[in-house]
Amino acid sequence: MSAALDGIAVLDLATVGPAARCTRILADYGARVVKIGAPAKSGVNTEPPFFAYSGGRGTQRMRLDLKQADGVAVFLRLAAQADVIVESFRPGVVAKLGIGYADVRAVNARIVYCSTSGYGQDGPRARWAGHDLNYLAVGGFLDCSGRRADGGPPLPGATIADGAAGGMHAAIAILAALLRRQRMGEGEYLDVSVADGVLSLMALAVDEHLATGAAVGPGHDILTGRYACYDLYEARDGRWLAVAAIEPAFFANLCKALGLERWIPYQTDDARQAEIRADLRAAFRTRDRDAWVELLAGHDTCVAPVQSVSEVPSDPQFRARGAFAFAEHAERGRIRQLAPALAGMPRSGEAPALPAPGATETDALLSAAGYAQAEIERLRSRGAVA
């Protein structure tokens, strides 16, 4: 079965961040992604570690000086044959370079042009610099995420804003735009704000506040620590268990397994939560984490182990689902990495070849775009391409 995005050509002007997460998703669904960076001599590239973004598997690379007229002309020629462009410059930069949506649409009315930025293309924060933590902060995520010993919100354990609020947000918007283009025949411009994506992730909390005026935050409801049935508990060996027994039946099963049946009627009794937590903590400290998992996890208690990243590759569930694969890196040889992880992404079973740092396929890409070898050599001699 062919990949969902076979035949879709994507130009990616980002090397890291939400836009790179987005094109990683598109490539894993079968799109042909060309990652366009600045020439190395420009000093403006941010080169990710060799393992990041799946090591660039299934993507092509070229270097293009977009500050030269020749470089802009090359980009527009490539854009005329593309389906999607993804960029992550500060708002207004692509227009100044001459490669903005209006410039591209003039040569390709079917283009889906996606700009990703922290706060969107307009509004009082549009020009602010930022990273994942900033977007989680303004969207309410951090404030709902519990408290450290000093009273502040904790640092999240993953770049949720970049990955979900930005990368997945952009990919979903692009896929919807491609479907619309199939019906209407025209492309469109997408203004993807990572902070807006955080709002989408926070919809349950934000909608509750808007509808009721409730001051949603840590300890407000069952999902933010109000009740003992939804919490983290330390086992005897110092490792942790995640307990998420929200439904009364699951909580009852948990209490029975722990010999704490007396608490079944009081699951959401605010006056008894301190006592329930104390008894749950004491019970979980009587066995090691994995012993509890063996006893509880498969018996409708909503218990799971809190695993370190180093434990994850040995997890039997992930292994059974083929979550990990091998790749052949041009310099480092055979390495292990996550396989395409999302539903519907094809897995070939072969180890893909990963490019060496700085490697490009510029000549082949330009040739496919219709450039003669003499033209390519002229562009290279001028520093427009590399």
Residue of 131, 207, 269, 299 marked active site: 131
243: enclosing H helix or E strand: strand 240-244
CA distance 142 to 144: 5
Q: Is 231 among the catalytic positions?
A: no
Residue of 65, 132, 143, 162 marked active site: 162
The pTM of the full predicted model, rounded to 2 decimals, is 0.93
Q: What's the confidence (pLDDT) of residue 195?
A: 98
Ranges of the chain with pLDDT below 50:
none
State both tokens at 50: 């060799």
> Which parts of the chain fold into alpha helices (H)?
17-28, 69-79, 93-97, 101-105, 132-138, 160, 169-184, 194-201, 203-212, 248-258, 273-284, 289-296, 316-320, 362-368, 373-381
Q: What's the confidence (pLDDT) of residue 44?
A: 58
Domains located in the chain, CATH noted: 9-200+356-381 (3.40.50.10540), 222-234+240-305 (3.30.1540.10)
CA distance 208 to 206: 5
165 DSSP 8-state letter:
I
State both tokens at 54: 């799946």
CA distance 25 to 70: 31
Q: Is 131 among the catalytic positions?
A: yes
State both tokens at 59: 């993507």
CA distance 348 to 205: 40
Cβ neighbours for 343, distance < 8 A, ≥ 6 positions apart? none
